């Protein structure tokens, strides 16, 4: 495991690798959500079942619009009022999205982050990324590159940076029902 720069992180993502990076509250594991081998690696390393699905994170709403139903929907203004920010929304998919992202559902969890390093990463990658907490399923998530090394035993490189101001992972809401899921 190494601590890597932003340009190195983008190169690894483009090469189908999984990286760790800071988010609003904990370190996340990320990869290209449309690369099946990268997703398989991420699910294996995290010991996460496919059926759970993953969150996608973006720098701007435009990065997720091709994937979800948002514009013209009853919930559009409510969702957009929280972005960029630390709120994840479960939205109906607009086009076919692979099951390894959705967990086989007709919805996908997405967040347009206000975290400066996440925004830089998504902009440099030119698209949304997977954002799932950097931990083995069921364990406490990592809050530093040092913890990434301890948890994943050198399997992942880590983009060093500061966490955001949240003490708990982001809230998740279902856009269609308005219910809080986490």
The residue extents of the domains of the chain are 3-174
The per-residue pLDDT for 24 is 95
Q: Does the structure show a pLDDT above 80 at 1?
A: no
Q: How many CB atoms lie within 10 A of CB 23?
A: 27
Laid out side by side, the sheet with 107-112 consists of 129-130, 55-58, 107-112, 87-92, 171-174
Tokens standing for 43? 């699910």
The per-residue pLDDT for 84 is 97
pLDDT tens sequence across 154-182: 899 999 999 998 888 889 999 999 999 98
pLDDT tens sequence across 93-120: 998 899 999 999 999 999 999 999 999 9
Contact of 169 with 25, CB cutoff 8 Å: yes
Q: H helices of the chain, where?
A: 6-14, 36-46, 76-80, 99-102, 116-125, 145-152
Contact of 6 with 160, CB cutoff 8 Å: no
Q: Supply the mean pLDDT for the chain.
A: 95
pTM of the model: 0.94
The per-residue pLDDT for 26 is 95
Q: Calculate what percentage of the chain has a pLDDT beyond 90.
A: 92
For 3-174, the fitting CATH number among 3.40.50.2300, 3.90.870.10, 3.40.50.720, 3.40.50.10800 is: 3.90.870.10
Number of H helices, E strands in the chain: 6, 10
6-14 and 116-125 helices, crossing angle to 10°: 40
Tokens standing for 11? 């190169």
Mean pLDDT of all residues in 35-61: 95
């Amino acid at each position: 495991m190494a601590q890597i720069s932003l340009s190195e992180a983008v190169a690894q993502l483009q090469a189908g690798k999984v990286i760790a990076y800071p988010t609003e509250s904990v370190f996340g594991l990320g990869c290209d959500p449309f690369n099946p081998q990268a997703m398989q690696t991420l699910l294996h390393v995290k010991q996460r079942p496919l059926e759970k699905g993953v969150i996608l994170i973006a720098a701007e709403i435009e990065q997720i619009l091709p994937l979800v139903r948002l514009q013209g929907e009853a919930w559009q203004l409510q969702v957009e009022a929280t972005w960029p920010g630390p709120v994840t929304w479960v939205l109906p998919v607009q086009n076919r999205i692979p099951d390894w992202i959705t967990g086989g559902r007709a919805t996908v969890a997405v967040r347009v982050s206000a975290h400066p390093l996440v925004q830089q990463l998504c902009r440099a990658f030119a698209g949304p990324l997977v954002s799932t907490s950097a931990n083995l399923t069921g364990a406490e998530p990592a809050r530093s590159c040092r913890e990434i090394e301890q948890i994943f035993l050198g399997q992942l490189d880590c983009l060093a940076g500061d966490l955001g101001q949240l003490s708990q992972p982001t809230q998740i809401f279902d856009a269609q029902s308005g219910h809080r899921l986490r």
